[in-house]
Structure 1
Amino acid sequence: MSEMNKDDDFEIEAVEELETKKEEDSEEEDYEDICYLCRRPESKAGKMIELPNNIHICSDCMQKTFDAMGKGGFGYDDIMGMSNIPNISMINLADLQNTVPKKQKIKKKKVNEEKKVPELDIKNIQVPHKIKASLDEYVVGQEQAKKVISVAVYNHYKRVATNTMDEIEIEKSNMLMIGPTGSGKTYLVKTLARILDVPLAIADATSLTEAGYIGDDIESVVSKLLAAADNDVEKAERGIIFIDEIDKIAKKKNTNQRDVSGESVQQGMLKLLEGADIEVPVGANSKNAMVPLTTVNTRNILFICGGAFPDLEEIIKERLNKESSMGFKADLKDKYDKDPNVLSKVIVDDIKNFGMIPEFIGRLPIVFTLDSLTKEMLIKILKEPKNAILKQYQKLLELDEVQLNFDDNALESIAEKALEKKTGARALRAIIEEFMLDIMYEIPKDENIGRVTITREYIENIGGPVIDMRGILNLERRKML
């Protein structure tokens, strides 16, 4: 009986191994073969010659190899007899393995013999007011910015879906987002990509340099989008690229050295933003990394650039003060010094004076600003969004069967402390982490604790939190019943 069971187990294992192998083979068929020598994919190099150990070589590399051998004067008999020559041995194919990591494999393009149906349908694209309503659930305030980005994205994907149905060609709606640090630029784009369910790549402009210098090549931003789309070129060509810290590639002033991370990067990005076929390294940041290269058309990729643009306020104030007239009814010179939203008065000339070249600004036709966060906005950020910080901590303590409450005065105190730090919404978590540390350390010690109420006195270090035991909570529930 035991022998029969062993045979059954062996058959089951054999069937499972066969099914696993079939799945792996079908998965491999979805990806292109890569030439072992030049690293070009099958779509570029043409039909591959398959050798043992899953090694593929394109016909060009094979021909070059034969030509090199012919120029060396080696005949077939000479090559076969090389094993007898001292210090020379033939290459053993068994020692080679074409193990290309999955992140460097390129998915095959789907080809339909019938008329190709566009994957994006105009009827299925979310309209601007629905996009904004979804953003409202996660992002507090910034009404104008949410409205602008909703309309721009809606128009962009209408353009992609129509794919220029007639002779009228719709231009791209690339955006430039300006806002103080911590105002929610990156969070807004992340939320947008989640709502639209499209590939999103977030790149940092600070690491970009001109080709040939140490740093990331400009094409690496598209390479990140390709990786986010699981190396599916067609999917990546409908994605969103958010380039953060775009103000860091402004022209460097008063320098005699070559500006390899400033104006040259802006010039290199011009074709990228406008729409062109870009050679992209797959799974790497540099074309010289001996990885496969593929071509991605950036015509339908939506580019959103964002930056804090420090000192831009001074440029705007200087322009506004020059425009003020003289006389008794003239504007005061310090009129705009206390204006928290002076960035909203920005014009293209101000961005140009900051150090962005006109050609670059021209390829970002939609420019909008985010407001500085006020105390009221910070309080809303603490408690209203779906992923609000307070809700996260309340959930953590719920797992210990403890209620966590915050007084209104406590929320005001947190917002005031955050404003003093001048880092926007990022300051909120740092402040909460500081005073929640002791609470989350002490609560698991005592199972009788049922509720913790955070007060203003506790946040300002002149008192402690209000702690209620489970027995008191049970009495309160009985009274309510």
Structure 2
Amino acid sequence: MTEHLNRLTPRQIVFELDQYIIGQNDAKRNVAIALRNRWRRMNSPEDIQKEIIPNNILMIGATGVGKTEIARRLAKIADAPFVKVEASKFTEVGYVGRDVESMVRDLVEQAVGMVRTQKKEEVKLKAEQAVEDIILDALIPPVHGSSSVKIQPDNNTSEVMPENDAELNQRTRERFREKIRNGELDSRKIDIEVQQNQAPNVGMIGGAMDDVSMMNIQEMIGNMMPRRGKKRKVTVEEARKILLDEEASKLIDMDEVKMEAIKKAENLGIIFIDEIDKVASSRSGGGGGPDVSREGVQRDLLPIVEGSAVNTKHGVINTDHILFVAAGAFHVAKPSDLIPELQGRFPIRVELNSLTEADFYQILKTPKNALTKQYVAMMESEGVELEFEDGALKEIARIAFEVNSEVENIGARRLQTVMSLLLNDFMFDIPDVIGADSHIVVTAELVSEKLSALVKNRDLSQYIL
């Protein structure tokens, strides 16, 4: 588990984040240190490991400046289970504590999925061989048993002569096996049997039951019910996909998967709690109203962030070493409006900068997943070449920044709307009007022509996100 993290030094982590996120160097440095500290903890003496708690991070910044993207990319770099939740969803009427625990259960589900995928990859070769045999049996059923005969020659020595049908069947099967491997029979239809779980949906009459109990009952009844097969007529290509997952599942030990997944979630899991400012309550207000509900939500979040044991369908998970990253714009409330106990659980505070016009230009040009590169790839699939002049990128950045300043600052998300408005006519005309082998050049003049109304007409601008 720690081998992958060993290669990720803080500088290497920041370098990886730079491939997708422009600016926000302070935030990147802090999450890089937090991630590296996990490797440091797991490689510390055993007697001190449990005492080293993660430095949870509170990100403060307007929408669209990269808070979520930093956390999500960090999880991908670390190959760690990641869950994003909105704190505001826990403010509903009738809210109960188990809803807060659901984010930990979601994290365990993510971890189980990751470990299961890894295990299936390890047994993929064996599973492919088993699938090949099943498909071959469906195409050419094997001849069972031996019908060979003994012949007594003149020299009194017995000789066994193979029966012709069995030998022919074997040679035919080998020829068809080669055809299956080469994909020559992918379109051939065959009958296969797919296993189905006959577990019914369970409804409870009477008092309320928590999610874990319901999941456990469902799983228990599912295990008691017999698994029945269902015949399906599919192509060889489809059969290979359907059966591969089934055969790989038979080869892996799910108990081992669950144990590894819980360990992975406990030591590497990242939970991103967005809109934490929405549950912060003003200290100057009275003692009633919605502020009471918000403070209740914070108190329900507190034990999870502090470290507690949570029951899941896969086992008990301790949240002591899960990394929590909270984020909010804090336009109305302040971080100090959070209850002191919760503030203390987010010792690292990072303020993210609002995006400038220069940032917008770099976001369009530099990241691996830049919007311009996405549009180039989409048009390439139609055989159309799309090119952006440097002046066009600067003009797009200027307009996006201007609209953000005058209407509503939604950060980098503004670029998606502006780019869509700019290129929608081309996207509509391909391939009917603009055919393959065409070359489209986006110039600064074209950008000004297409988007000038957006900036001049404020009434129009308010309808653009």
SS in structure 1 of the partner of residue 55 of structure 2: coil
Distance in structure 1 (CA, Å) of the matches to 2:451 and 2:88: 44
Distance 1:404 1:122, change over 3 A: closer
Other-structure match for 1:411: 393
> Residue 435 of structure 2 aligns with which residue?
447
Match of 2:372 in 1: 390
- Alignment correspondent of 2:273: 243
Contact 1:153 1:173 in 2 (8 A): no
Aligned counterparts, 1:182-221, within 5 A: 182-209=64-91, 213=95, 217-221=99-103
Shift in alpha-carbon separation, 1:400–1:160, aligned structure 2, 3 A: same
What one-letter code is carried by the residue in structure 2 that aligns with 1:145? A
Displacement of 1:450 in angstroms is 2.3
| 1:254-287 deviation digits (Å, cap 9, x = unpaired) | 462364641111112222112121234x4xxxxx
Counterpart in the other structure of 1:256: 288
Q: Deviations over 1:284-317 (max 9, x none)?
A: xxxxxxxxx84210011111111111146xxxxx
Please name the residue that 2:104 is paired with: 222
One-letter amino acid matched to 1:412: K
- Tell me whether 1:266 sits opposite 2:254 in the alignment: no
1:371 & 1:453 partners in 2: Cα distance?
Answer: 33
Q: Following superposition of structure 1 onto structure 2, how do residues 89-108 of structure 1 map, counting pairs within 5 Å? A: none
Report how far residue 439 of structure 1 moved.
Answer: 0.6
1:131 equivalent to 2:13? Answer yes
1:204 CA displacement: 1.0
Structure 1: gaps spanning 5 or more residues: 1-118, 283-292, 313-349, 465-481
Check the 8 A contact 1:240/1:303 in 2, yes or no.
yes
Give the residue type in structure 1 aligned to 2:279. I
Structure-to-structure mapping, 1:64-75, within 5 angstroms: none
Is 2:33 aligned against 1:151?
A: yes
1:395 is matched by which residue type in structure 2?
A
Matched, 1:169 2:59: no
**Does the CA contact (< 8 Å) of 1:176 and 1:306 recur in 2?**
yes
Tell me the distance in 1 between the aligned counterparts of 2:5 and 2:422.
Answer: 49
Moved more, 374-383 or 149-158: 149-158
Name 2:412's counterpart in structure 1: 425
SS in 1 for 2:383: coil
> Are the aligned partners of 1:213 and 1:260 in contact in 2 as well (CA < 8 Å)?
no
Cα 1:170–1:406 change in 2 (3 A) is: same
Match of 1:233 in 2: 262
Whether the 8 Å CA contact 2:64–2:412 is kept in 1: the answer is yes
Query: Residue 430 of structure 1: CA displacement?
Result: 0.9
Q: Which amino acid aligns with 1:441?
A: F
SS at match of 1:262: helix
Contact 1:277 1:297 in 2 (8 A): yes
Letter in 1 for 2:386: L
The count of corresponding residues between Structure 1 and Structure 2 is 296
Cα gap change, 1:458 to 1:162, in 2 (>3 Å): same
After TM superposition, give the deviation of residue 164 of structure 1 in Å. Answer: 4.1
SS of equivalent residue, structure 2 residue 277? helix
Higher helix share: 2
For residues 355 and 322 of structure 2, the distance between their equivalents in structure 1, rounded to whole angstroms, comes to: 31
Alignment match of 1:458 (pick from 426, 433, 446)? 446
Task: Say if 1:211 and 1:432 are closer, same or farther in 2 by CA, change over 3 A.
Answer: closer
Q: Contact (CA 8 Å) 1:200, 1:228: kept in 2 or not?
A: yes
Q: Which amino acid aligns with 2:300?
A: G
Amino acid at match of 1:301: I
Cα distance, 1:453–1:254 mapped onto 2, change above 3 Å: farther
**Distance between the aligned counterparts of 2:7 and 2:450, measured in 1?**
54
SS at match of 1:180: coil
Counterpart CA distance in 2 for 1:269 and 1:363 is 11
SS of the residue corresponding to residue 150 of structure 1 reads: helix
Distance 1:156-1:462 versus aligned 2 partners, 3 A rule: closer
TM-score, normalised by the number of residues in structure 2: 0.59
Identity level (%)? 39
- The answer as to whether partners of 1:164 and 1:170 remain within 8 angstroms in 2 is no
Code of the residue aligned with 1:179 in structure 2: it is G
Name the CA shift for 1:440/1:299 in 2 (closer, same or farther; >3 Å).
Answer: same
Distance between the aligned counterparts of 1:454 and 1:370, measured in 2? 32
* 1:162 shift after superposition: 3.1
Question: What is the SS of the residue equivalent to 1:237?
Answer: helix
Higher RCO (Cα < 8 Å, 6 or more apart): 2
Distance 1:237 1:444 in 2: 50
Describe the superposition over 1:166-204 as per-residue Cα deviations: whole angstroms up to 9, x where unpaired.
489323211111111100111111111111101011111
**Alignment RMSD (CA, Å):** 2.7
* Paired residue secondary structure (1:170): coil
